[in-house]
Structure 1
Amino acid sequence: MPMFGDRPRELPQRFAFVLVPDFSMMPVTAAIEPLRIANRTAEQDLYSWKVYSVDGTAVTASNGIVMGVDGDIGDIGEHDTIIVCGGLNIHKHADKKLVGWLRKEARRGMDIGSVCTASHILAEAGILDGYRCTIHWENLPGFSEAFPDLNVTGSLFEIDRDRFTSAGGTSSVDMMLALIGAQHGQQLASEVAEGILHAPIRHQSEYQRMSLPARIGARHPKLISIIEQMEKNLEEPLSPSLLARQAGLSTRQLERLFRRYLDRSPKRYYLELRLRKARSLLLQTDMTVINVALACGFSSPSHFSKCYRAFFGRTPYRERGTPRLESHDHDIAAH
């Protein structure tokens, strides 16, 4: 089985970047620039690249910049390495023509990968089945719900035989440096990294997000362990008494710990974690509001809607842009 990172059939190795609407520009440029600098450093055309869209028309990025393309997906060569580039609202951009074309290219044994959220499109095409893959951490909950049988990780990037996925942002740099190192030596990869002021080169197994202490601004070991348990148990929340007991604390000590470091009760902090996951699922999946509520530990849809509106200022239905008069809106407003 060929692997992304094997020596190319010919030089320069050709890359085809397929842009979908609302694509994120940073991971695209972060994937292309290491290739450009590798050519410059090696004083040889090791890589070439072109940009495509499904229909050959320009594509608007999530930052509003309109990017011209070199052609449509039918113009991509038979030996090109394909990289699908996603961004916002990815579940709305799984174009049937693109999905069908990816399936055909996969059957031909092509190296196919993605940056940022475009793992969703590869999954829709069924070409990630049996492969490790990753996606941006914000999209991870919705992706896992939509494709529960996939082996999805929280890594910066994943290279698994002829499939490769990166989480977005600057993780594209690390994925391409891994490619350059595997094909043309670690010295060249290091020189490219130095050229773009990217040090150290991160391994694919590194996690996308900052450490939990960095995210919450506290390093208390028991607080960290409790929040880790909360994050692992959003669908079936653990009681404060159980969280306290697991950490070797009384419920009063647990309350004081959260008040001191996070200025909120443990119950409130836990609720906010669940509501943020709910928002991700509402925006990134087609799950019903009731199923979103259940996936985030709410047994009552009305209670979920009440909590959601109190925190985000709008109901779950309006979050999706779906006008709906709910019988309990009056109760919510009075909450």
Structure 2
Amino acid sequence: MMQRRQSGSADTASLRVGIILAENFTLSALSLFIDHLRLAADKEDKSRPILCTWQIMNSRPESIRASCGVSVSRNSDLTDPTAFDYIAVVGGLLHGRRQVDEPTTRYLQKAASLGVPLIGICTGTFILCRAGVMKERTACVSWYHRQDFMEEFPDHKACSEQMYLVDGDRITCSGGGGAAELALHLIEKHLSRPLARKASHILLLDRPRRGDTPSLQPHPPLTEEVNHVVDARVRRAMMEMEQNMIDPLSISDVADRLGISSRQLERLFQSVLGMRPALFYRMIRLRYAHALLSQGELTITQVAFETGFSDCAHFSRQFKTMFGHSPSAMRGRSSQSAPIFPPVTATRQLGERAGVRLFEAL
């Protein structure tokens, strides 16, 4: 059981955050967010909430269970929203599960009407949208959940490039590392940059950012291409491939996850995209490799491994065939100079140019 004991005074704190946890919330998102606040809040290192305070709220007295099975106790009932500078909602598992109850939804709506800034962490953004408090606001969504978001909220704008996004008095983040960066942003804004740096140093998560600009999400999403594909089975297959880069699935495994045969999947891809699924899979892995190399942080061998290639020489040959230059020529080059990747609508021409033999079945 985890419980945060409050010993500081919220009246004297420069940053006051109320936290609502969804059922089956993501523990890592909460811990990365709250530990940055904890380390910045104390003048020594005793975990005292002096400079900032945080309070876990729940409409019911029982503890809240995370998706990993760990339970967290509340500090209070749903407190007066104006007692906080921000109210953050930490989301978690999406499908087939209730995330928050009706009293919590009404509480978020009340907070919005009172002008209290709201934060959506991980799929907490979905909760804010369902509560109707994200109208005419752009939401930051992880590339992993973007398709789910677009299907549920077709009238909302979504951003899957940044780790977090500030849109007026609504802040949303992609979860994981995005929760950490968002916490640093709040600490810098309300306390100081040195305190933010202190927290990230202690957590060994120090990564310099360009001023107040959020980092980019580390995975180049296929979402724009996916959104243009009408067939739901092909869209799902594309997402399965994108979510399995380091250890690529076999095409038969992809088909099994969709509940269809490999032959059916081959026909679908040929009909919709004009190419075999193995060709498409290899293409997006090479695109990801291109993005990693442009960041200049990994060696060519590491990039090959991260994109599912066990043979570095084989990876280099395929990379050069697709992009016209070797990985060694690409490494460290600015991502702004990267070529525009061909959309899936143009993959038929790509398949004809590269040759199916280059992208043999996995």
Q: Cα RMSD over matched residues?
A: 2.9
Q: 1:11 to 1:122 in 2, by over 3 A?
A: same
Q: Which letter does structure 2 place at the counterpart of 1:19?
A: L
Correspondence for 2:288 among 192, 212, 215? 212
Cα deviation for residue 228 of structure 1 reads 5.1
Q: Which residue of 2 aligns with 1:57?
A: 62
Which of 240, 250, 257 aligns to 2:358? It is: 257
With the length of structure 2 as denominator, give the TM-score of the two structures. Answer: 0.59
Mapped to 2, the partners of 1:120 and 1:111 lie a distance apart of 16
Alignment CA distance shift 1:22-1:67 (3 Å): same
Matched-pair identity in %: 22
Indicate how the Cα distance of structure 1 residues 150 and 196 shifts in structure 2: closer, same or farther if over 3 A, else same. Answer: same
Alignment of 1:183-222 (within 5 A): 183-202=190-209, 203-209=213-219, 212-213=288-289, 214=303, 216-217=307-308, 218=315, 220=319
Query: For 2:141, which of 123, 135, 143 is the aligned residue?
Result: 135
Q: 1:123 to 1:191 in 2, by over 3 A?
A: same
Cα deviation, 1:188-222, whole Å, max 9, x if unaligned, reads 22222212111214442512426711553456166
> Which stretches of structure 1, 4 residues or more, deviate above 4 A after TM superposition?
41-44, 221-229
Tell me which residue corresponds to 1:115: 121
CA distance in 2, matches of 1:66, 1:49: 18
Could you tell me which of 35, 38, 41 is aligned with 1:39? Answer: 41
Could you say which structure has the greater relative contact order, defined with CA pairs below 8 angstroms and 6 or more residues apart? 1
CA 23–227 in structure 1, closer or farther in 2 if over 3 Å, else same? farther
Task: Give yes or no for contact 2:142–2:174 (8 Å, CA) kept in 1.
Answer: yes
Paired residue total? 241
> Against the structure 1 CA distance between its residues 186 and 100, is the aligned structure 2 distance closer, same or farther, given a 3 Å change threshold?
same
Contact 2:14–2:190 under 8 Å retained in 1: no
Q: Distance in 1 between matches of 2:356 and 2:215?
A: 35
Give the corresponding residue for 1:169: 176
In 1, Cα distance between the equivalents of 2:151 and 2:320?
Answer: 31
Query: How far off its partner does 1:157 sit?
Result: 0.9
CA distance in 1, matches of 2:117, 2:54: 14
The one-letter code matched in structure 2 to 1:31 is F
Instruction: Give the 3-state SS of the residue equivalent to 1:50 in structure 2.
Output: strand
Contact (CA 8 Å) 2:23, 2:100: kept in 1 or not? no
Which range moves more in the overlay, 96-105 or 115-124? 96-105
**AA partner of residue 193 (structure 1):** S
Deviations 1:226-246 (A, max 9, x none): 9954xx54xxxx4xxx5252x
Return closer, same or farther for 1:208/1:134 CA change in 2, 3 Å cut-off. Answer: farther
Change (3 A) 1:9 1:222: farther
Instruction: Give unmatched runs, 5+ long, in structure 2.
Output: 1-9, 221-286, 290-302, 309-314, 324-337
For 2:82 and 2:359, locate their aligned partners in 1 and report how far apart those are by CA, in whole Å.
Answer: 57
1:287 match: none
SS at match of 1:48: strand
Q: Aligned partners of 2:98 and 2:90: how far apart in 1?
A: 14
User: Which ranges of structure 1 fall in alignment gaps of 5 or more residues?
Assistant: 1-7, 265-335
Aligned: 1:160 with 2:167: yes
